[in-house]
Amino acid sequence: MKFSRIKRILLDYLGITLGCLLTAMALIIFLIPNKIAAGGVSGLATVLFYLFNFPVGIVMFAINIPLFLIGVKVLGKSLGFRTFYGIVVLSFFTDFLAAYLPVLTRDPLLASIYGGGLTGLGLGLVFKSRGTTGGTDLVAALLNNFFPVVSIGQGLLIIDVIVVTLAGIVFNAELALYAAISLFVSSKIIDLIQEGFNLAKAALVISDHSEEIRQAILNTMGRGVTTLDGKGGFTGKEKDVILVIVSRAEVTELKRLVTRIDPRSFVILTGVHEVMGEGFKEVDLHS
């Protein structure tokens, strides 16, 4: 095994560990004390904690391990050791740190927002490190296996809705609404972690002076461009469409450059979450 491969694996497990730590902190500091059961196995464990005083970490472990074993049997060994590791570490951190971490707020709105954000950050790191913490991911995958008509995304939604509804029954409807807020925030943060923070911009430039604009972008801005074949829908005229990715700081320069060459040009700008390649983020060939 090459050193770079070993380094990649170690970094992945470090990411899973850190992600589990942040997720456990979110549960202890914000969610559990405020009775916010934001879906998933952790949400179900929170409900059971208030019903029967069962430790949240132990309940998560007790639910996840059978799911993991069933998943390995039904879905195969592709689940991997990383899933088992994530289950164990998150369960351990959740119960172990409960005696040491303070509750930062008793405001359910603040708890749902910050708890959801910290949960999303933690789970996002786990997923980015190619791991999982079991739970609803496994249940959704099993549902999809037995009932193919239910996609994994739909399965996740169904499970989270059931848990949030259960929280509303056990606690009250208001706390269920706060749990939904937390669930929404965590999903958005997970997406942000997965897709990246370097919000670059993609520009499509349509102009009768495309060659001049292309040369100017290459020579003045030092950015690579891709020329696409286009055709006017009204005129039927063939024309080139220039695609270029720039950083946010370069957007104004690009617009000035294009406008100076062709004031009648048509420019479309859209956000890009992550860019890998020359001039941006390097591609990790060992991941």
Domains of the chain: 3-195 (no CATH), 200-272 (3.30.70.120)
User: Cα separation of 43 and 185, whole Å?
Assistant: 15
User: Cα separation of 210 and 222, whole Å?
Assistant: 16
The percentage of the chain sitting over the pLDDT mark of 90, rounded to a whole number, equals: 45
| Contact (CB, 8 A) for 171 and 49 | no
Q: How many CB atoms lie within 10 A of CB 51?
A: 9
Given strand 225-231, what is the order of strands in its sheet?
A: 225-231, 238-246, 200-206, 266-272
The residue count for the chain: 287
- SS3 at position 105: coil
| Contact (CB, 8 A) for 118 and 36 | no
143-185 pLDDT per residue, tens: 777 888 877 667 777 888 899 999 999 999 999 999 999 999 9
| Contact (CB, 8 A) for 283 and 277 | yes
Sign, CA dihedral 221-226-227-233, equals: negative
Please state the pTM of the whole predicted model. Answer: 0.77
The percentage of the chain sitting over the pLDDT mark of 70, rounded to a whole number, equals: 91
Question: What pLDDT does residue 198 have?
Answer: 60
| Contact (CB, 8 A) for 31 and 38 | yes
Confidence of residue 286 (pLDDT cuts 50, 70, 90): very low
Phi, psi of 248 (to 5 degrees): -60, -35
Q: How many CB atoms lie within 10 A of CB 49?
A: 18
Residue with tokens 């591609």: 283
User: Cα separation of 251 and 202, whole Å?
Assistant: 9
